[in-house]
């Protein structure tokens, strides 16, 4: 199939969403692989935590992991409960255990609680996917970024990742993996996303440093760098004119769908990537990540 035509091209209708946004409110709903992803047992018996697992990339990864044989805990904001229930249903439909943990990962105690719930409710932890993120486009650039917004972006995207990893490491055995969600914004940074791009560059550096730190424990750390991916975050945080044309500037001429990211996260979680750590895999529709 021609990748340019595999999914719709702009314009997109995301609906009138307020942050964090719900999938059910989007006229043009994303594809999370609900009807297409086929598992082959690559993660049988594994225990995974996925932050932001209610929707978007997180939901696609949760569905794929469950169909590959993993039990999955998803964390999300309380206002995202409807999306979380739908994701949990897909996990259970795959015959795996689903644990849902609402709360705000800007709170260190909640990050520790997520890991504790994985250990108690799933029986251990093998895969940590730091996927939750916050952005709010400011076309006016740095002058329009308030201290409150900057703090929220930093706490959600960087602090929480650090807190979750620090809490998880004592529970990770050799063969475990940490997978962080970076972004093409770490390499092709937008002036409207100064704070967000800053955190995504930090995630790349953190991934490489932590990979070196944990290598002697047999724990691998990698990152996926998505390009423009169609999720509720986009219509909830970007100007309408940008939403309509979203992804149209990629070489493939369209936004990506969450389903197109799932295989990358499965690869990094599976033994197939056993000699890969400290790497960033771009899934960007052709935009460079180097």
Active site residue 196: yes
Inter-residue contact 246 to 135 (CB < 8 Å)? no
Beta bridge partners of 280: 223
Please pick, among 196, 265, 267, 275, the residue that the annotation labels catalytic.
196
Peptide bond into 187 cis (omega under 30): no
Cβ of 194: how many Cβ atoms within 10 Å? 18
Nearest to 137 by CA among 23, 57, 19: 19
| Catalytic residue IDs | 196
């Amino acid at each position: 199939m021609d990748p340019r035509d595999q999914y719709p091209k702009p314009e997109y209708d995301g609906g009138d969403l307020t942050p964090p946004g719900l999938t059910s409110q989007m006229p043009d709903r994303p594809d999370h692989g609900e009807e297409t992803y086929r598992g082959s047992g690559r993660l049988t018996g594994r225990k995974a935590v996925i932050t932001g697992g209610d929707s978007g990339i997180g939901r696609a990864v949760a569905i794929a992991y469950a169909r590959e044989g993993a039990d999955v805990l998803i964390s999300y904001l309380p206002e995202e409960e409807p999306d979380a229930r739908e994701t949990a249903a897909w996990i259970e439909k795959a015959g795996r255990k689903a644990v849902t943990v609402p709360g705000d990962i800007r709170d260190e105690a909640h990050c520790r609680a997520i890991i504790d719930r994985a250990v108690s409710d799933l029986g251990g932890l093998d895969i940590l996917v730091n996927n939750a993120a916050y952005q709010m486009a400011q076309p006016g650039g740095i002058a329009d970024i308030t201290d409150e917004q900057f703090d929220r972006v930093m706490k959600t995207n960087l602090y929480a990742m650090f807190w979750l990893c620090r809490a998880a490491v004592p529970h990770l055995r050799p063969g475990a993996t940490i997978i962080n969600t970076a972004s093409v914004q770490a390499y092709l940074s937008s002036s409207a996303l100064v704070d967000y791009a800053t955190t995504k560059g930090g995630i790349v550096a953190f991934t490489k440093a932590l990979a070196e730190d944990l290598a002697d424990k047999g724990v691998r750390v990698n990152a996926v760098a998505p390009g423009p991916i169609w999720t509720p975050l986009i219509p909830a945080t970007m100007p309408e004119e940008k939403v309509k044309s979203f992804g149209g500037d990629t070489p493939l001429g369209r936004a990506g769908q969450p389903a197109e990211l799932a295989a990358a996260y499965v690869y990094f979680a599976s033994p197939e990537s056993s000699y890969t750590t400290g790497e960033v895999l771009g899934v960007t529709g052709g935009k460079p990540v180097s």
